[in-house]
Amino acid sequence: MKRKSFIILLALIMVLAIVPKTSMADDDLSIWVDGKYVTSDTRPFIEDGRTLVPVRFVAESLGYKVSWDEKNSAVIIDNGIDKIIMVIGSINADHNGKSTRLNKAPKLQNSRTFVPVRDVAERFGKDVDWDDKNWTVVIGKGYKSPASVPVPGKNGRISVEKAIE
């Protein structure tokens, strides 16, 4: 009986090892901002259903200035018209002098400040969307899913790789 159980367990392990991974990891997460994919030296991640990105990376991709208030552990994003102040660990923020609530508190991780991308981008008037199929955060307009962009390849075939470039 032990031998039969062992063989079944071994077969199950082999089957699970062969089955391809179907879920995405944070490493697969992409950020598209105003017409182009952008990358950071620190990967964004999803926590409690919210995408958190390195604040300097996303703010500067949008052309905004970022500063750090050491005394209050707060990050400040300013584009000359709008300004948001977010304190690490707090869902309460200041947007143009008015109190507002974030969906997720900013946090420090590996000496980097991460903020909820939707909260930041929308407060600066940007459209934010999520391409679930390609695990892409979309900020701005004009995004087309790589799989839906027809790019002629050899012999009239579609090349997804070319569409992504």
Q: Is the dihedral of CA 38, 44, 49, 55 positive or negative?
A: negative
What is the C-alpha to C-alpha distance for residues 27 and 4, in angstroms, rounded to an integer? 39
pTM of the model: 0.69
Asked if residue 7 is part of any domain, the answer here is no
Say if residues 26 and 44 touch (Cβ distance below 8 Å).
yes
Digit-coded pLDDT (tens) for 23-70: 344 457 888 898 888 888 888 999 999 999 999 988 888 899 999 999
3-state helix, strand, coil in the chain (%, to 5): 25, 35, 40
Mean pLDDT of the chain: 79
Instruction: Output the DSSP codes for 140-164.
Output: SS----GGGS--B-GGG-B-HHHHH
Q: Does residue 40 belong to any structural domain of this protein?
A: yes
Q: Give the three-state DSSP class for 123.
A: helix
pLDDT tens readout for residues 66-84: 999 999 999 999 999 999 9
- Is residue 5 in a domain? no
Residue 69's SS3 state is strand
Whether residue 62 is contained in a domain is answered as yes
Tell me the CATH number at 58: 3.30.457.10
Sign of CA pseudo-dihedral 57, 128, 73, 26:
negative
Residue numbers of the domain that contains 45? 24-164
Question: How is the beta sheet containing 92-95 ordered, strand by strand?
Answer: 65-69, 74-78, 83-87, 92-95, 98-101
Give the H/E segment covering residue 1.
none
In a domain, 19, yes or no: no
* 97 inside domain: yes
- Closest to 102 in 3D by CA, of 75, 142, 138: 75
**Structural domain contains residue 48:** yes
Q: Give the chain's domain count.
A: 1
Greater confidence, 165 or 138? Answer: 138
